[in-house]
Structure formats: C-alpha cells, structure tokens
Amino acid sequence: MSFVALRKYAFIFSAVLIIIGVISMGINGLNFGIDFTGGTLLHLDIRQEFTLEEARDILAPLGLEAATLQKVGAEGLDAGEKQELLIQTQQLTPAEQDEVFSVFQEKYDLTAADLLRVENVVAVVGSELQRQALIALLLAGLGMIAYITIRFEFRFAVSAIAALLHDVMVMLAFFSIFQIEVNGPFIAAVLTVLGYSINDTIVIFDRIRENLKTRRKEQLADVVDNSIRQSLVRTINTSVTTLIVIVTILLLGGITLYPFMLALLVGVFFGTYSSIFIASPLWLVWRERDTRKHLRAKSA
C-alpha cells in the first residue's frame, strides 16, 4: 500500500473532521467543566464508612454523577474517626444544594451539623491562566520549529507543527460534537498527546532524511513511502500498547478519569494517524512544489 498515494483522501478526511468541529464549536461551543467555569463545593461528614461509588450512585438521580468526589478520613473506620466527603460540581442554587444534602441525610442519617461547608468556588483555570497557557504553547511551538529546522529543515518543522495543530483540532472537535466535559485534565491530555505525536513524527522524518542520502535515484514519493514503512512496525507497536492501557483505564477507571482517558484515546489514535498521513505527505507536497519551481526557474 502506498501511503503517500492516499494523501488526498487523508487531507479531505481531516479537513471534513475539522470543519465539522469548527461548526460544532461555533454552534454548541465546548462543555467547560468547573475548572474553567467555577462551581459549588459541599463538605459533608458522613460519620460512617462509605465508598465513592456509593456517593456517586446517590448523586446520579440528581444528574451530578460526573461531580468530582474526594474522600477524607482513614480507611477502616474506628470509633471517633471521621469519614468526610468533598463534592465539587457545577454551580448549584441554594435549593439544589439543599437537595444534595437531603439525599445524603436520608441515606446516612445525617444531621444539619454534618454539613460542614458549602461554598462557591472560582474557576481554577481563569482567563489569565488561559492566556499564559496559550503563550506557553506558542513559545513551545516556536521552540520546536527552531529545533526541527536546525536538526532537519524548515519544511519538516512546519509540517510537524501542522500535524500537531491537526491533532488538537480533532480532539476539540470530538469533545465539542459529543459535549464531553473539558476540564483541567483535558489540558494535560492535550499536552501529553502533543509530546507523543511530535515524537512519532520525528522518528519518521529521521528515516526520510537518512533515506534521502542513500536513495538519491528513487522518486521522492517512494522515499517517503519506504521511510513510513520502515517506521511502521515501531509506530504500530507503540500505539497499540499505549491504546491497550488507555482503553483498560477508560473502561475500569471510573467516571472521574473518563474525560481524561477519552481525550488520550482520541489524541493518541489521531496523533499516530497524523504522523503517517498528514505530516510526511505535507512535507512531500511542499518539497515537490519547490522542486518544480526550481526546475522551471532553471529551464527559464
């Protein structure tokens, strides 16, 4: 199979995904979690042993099963030891806060004194932090362009960054279309995927660079194809083993880890795809165009 021969289909497929994502973000936006929007914190003293699964089941009928839960207190309750629960969720009205406490009160026979704290929390990821994060990503991108340009060439650098932007846009599109919560761990997943994807891309670029030196008589498209094939086993083995771990945690890790692991699943899959079908073909298209321009200028 020729990978570069499929580049037009890959470009169209990626463009359609991104366009759908942009339309979805324009209409529906992103489902920002309390890390971005703020929310409500409830602190309860349960006074008996309980599990987070039990607490989540209690919250499920109220539509709050995705709340962030934290258990405070020693495992294996002894006399006098506390078993406290922190619930951090979307902004709740006073009536909704009372409803949440009442279901726990009924389940564990609590009193008003067991509601230790109720407060509204500000967004962890504020506008200033978002601005600083964007600046950091911009500086990191410029740093990668500089490094790849020095190590390889400018065309490789721009193609790699384009593939990374593709991965981020696909992740955002997926989360926007399905309205999955975007929170702090999602940002961590994006950064993880960027590191994973750029590493995968650089491995293929390194093979292209080496093969350009030793296979001068081959067509450029054949050099790129052979370079991808030479890296394919390593790429597939790395991606499959990574995806196995991600899927396992996605299925067994509970709802708290679900958005983070889902972001990793989408990112790693499309990061591998972009390294093969986006980054290298983009470089090839650019290189072939420059070669044709050079030949035309030389003949003129």
Say whether both 206 and 257 belong to one domain: yes
Give the DSSP H/E element, type plus range, for residue 156.
Answer: helix 154-177
Say whether both 75 and 191 belong to one domain: no
Domain count across the chain:
2
Q: DSSP letter for 28, please.
A: T
Q: What is the pLDDT of residues 91-101, one digit of tens each?
A: 888 999 999 99
Q: What is the pLDDT of residues 152-201, one digit of tens each?
A: 999 999 999 999 999 999 999 999 999 888 877 888 899 899 999 999 99
Instruction: Please give the sequence-ordered ranges of beta strands (E in DSSP) within the chain, or none if there are none.
Output: 31-32, 39-45, 68-73, 83-89, 115-121, 181-182
pLDDT of residue 81: 52
Say whether both 117 and 130 belong to one domain: no
Range(s) of the domain holding residue 67: 39-121
pLDDT of residue 127: 66
Q: What is the pLDDT of residues 62-92, one digit of tens each?
A: 988 878 888 876 444 444 455 889 888 888 8
Residue length of the chain: 300
Task: Check residues 273 and 80 and name the one with the higher pLDDT.
Answer: 273
Three-state secondary structure call for residue 123: coil
**pLDDT band (50, 70, 90) for residue 26:** very high
Say whether both 295 and 211 belong to one domain: yes
User: In the predicted model, what is the mean pLDDT of the chain?
Assistant: 87
pLDDT of residue 80: 46
CA distance 127 to 102: 35
**CA angle (64, 68, 71) in 5-degree steps:** 115
pLDDT of residue 91: 84
Say whether both 115 and 138 belong to one domain: no
pLDDT of residue 76: 46
